[in-house]
Amino acid sequence: MGIDLMEWLLLGVRWIHIITGIAWIGASFYFIWLDMNLTPPKAGGRKDKDGVGGELWAIHGGGFYEVQKYRVAPPALPDHLHWFKYEAYFTWLSGFVLLTLLYYFGAEIYLIDKSVADISTDTAILIGLGSLVGSWIVYDFLCKTPLIRHQGVFGLCLFLLLTAAAWGLSEVFSGRGAFIHVGAIIGTIMAANVMMVIMPGQRALVGAAERGETPDPAPGLKAKQRSLHNNYFTLPVLFIMISNHYPMTFGHEFSWLVLAAIAAVGVLVRHYFNMKNQGKSKQGIVLLPIAFVLFFAIAWAATPKTEDFSGGNKVSFATVQTIIQDRCVSCHAAKPTSEDFDTPPKGVVLETAAQILREHKRIRQQTVDTDVMPLGNITEMTEAERKLVGQWVAQGASAD
């Protein structure tokens, strides 16, 4: 398949992924908010006798809405009952297609970094797929242990396990590849929750209601529990979706720790809003400043503390231009010679002196402050060459 056509395919799939992801996460936000804002009906009243556990009035889009939630099931099912499931399924499917097209078909560029682990493409793909399946098995097992009755402890254990997964993946994949696989792990757990627990629980409720039986509330309670887990996963997975634009995160020496800390920020923010939805905003308000302080602490700690490159012998522009010609221009050219690119990545061209001088700050960020470029270090740029580039930038990035 031509590279141009592949780019259009990636654009289309990514667009679908974003659209369905918005629908899925939006539904999660809305229904968790709704569930936490329901008020019980008047005791002994008609709604109470009909099994209504909570109700809410709202106004939106120029109209009034009345929403009711039954404690278990209504006396009779309506003719039309909407199920929320396809948002989850299509978000996961489109995400997996993106993972396959970009990171598995392009494993040597985006997934494998020989300086991290010298593994084959097949090995890398097997590790990636195994991490998705294995993580769901571990998570689902934990949900079936007594630990699930202690939500705070359960959440901490899950956070530590995902952090361990991030560390392990960072030991075999490129930073970008490790990040995206942690995101894929979370997305897989979320989608599997819908398919394996939430939907069967809801089918059990509907089936019992259709048969005129008193439904067992247990499947519904498990479904609610997994829905809440999914809700807390949303902000960390959203960060991972945009992280590939920010190499100072996945390109950091301790990228797995940066990921864990930013995920913790997302969980804290989500927990604040869930507490607010329960009318506990005063108790939870401290979570927001903690989240903001943590975020800026991460930004400070993750900012490259590179040595002062300005000392030592002056590095000539000719030296730097030779390095860039050898290590970068195969991709960053008007007509790349690399078989992996038909156009220069992100439109950055480094063929002339003027182009290199214009992009000197980005060159340092991508090759010195982090080592995300060249992708997968496919042109085998050395640490000595990175240091020379850093010295040249620190000495003024001149054309001399």
So what's the pLDDT on residue 289?
A: 93
Q: What pLDDT score does 305 carry?
A: 58
The pLDDT score that the predictor gives to residue 262 is 95
Residue 131 has a pLDDT of 96
3-state secondary structure of 23: helix
Q: Burial of 14 by CB count in 10 Å (0-12 exposed, 13-18 middle, 19+ buried)?
A: middle
User: What is the number of other CB atoms lying within 10 angstroms of the CB of residue 159?
Assistant: 16
Q: What's the pLDDT at 3?
A: 56
Quick one: CA torsion of 376, 379, 382, 387, rounded to 10 degrees?
A: -90
* Type of residue found at 76: A
Q: Give the separation between CA 391 and CA 400, rounded to whole angstroms.
A: 13
pLDDT reported for residue 306: 56
Distance CA 314, CA 325 (A): 20
Q: List the chain pLDDT tens, one digit each, 400 residues.
A: 455 777 888 889 999 999 999 999 999 999 999 998 899 998 888 888 888 889 999 999 889 999 999 888 888 888 888 888 899 999 999 999 999 998 999 888 889 988 888 899 999 999 999 999 999 999 999 999 999 999 899 999 999 999 999 999 999 999 999 999 999 999 999 999 999 999 998 898 888 888 888 878 888 889 999 999 999 999 999 999 999 888 888 888 899 999 999 999 999 999 999 998 888 888 888 999 999 999 999 998 887 655 556 566 788 888 888 888 888 888 888 888 877 777 787 778 888 888 888 888 888 888 887 777 887 778 888 888 888 888 888 877 787 7
Q: Does pTM top 0.75 for this prediction? A: yes
Tell me what pLDDT residue 317 has.
82
Cα 228 from Cα 154, distance rounded (Å): 13
CB 177 within 8 A of CB 111: yes
Structure tokens, 358: 């214009």
The helix (run of H) or strand (run of E) holding residue 54 is strand 52-60
User: Which pair of tokens denotes residue 229?
Assistant: 């887990």
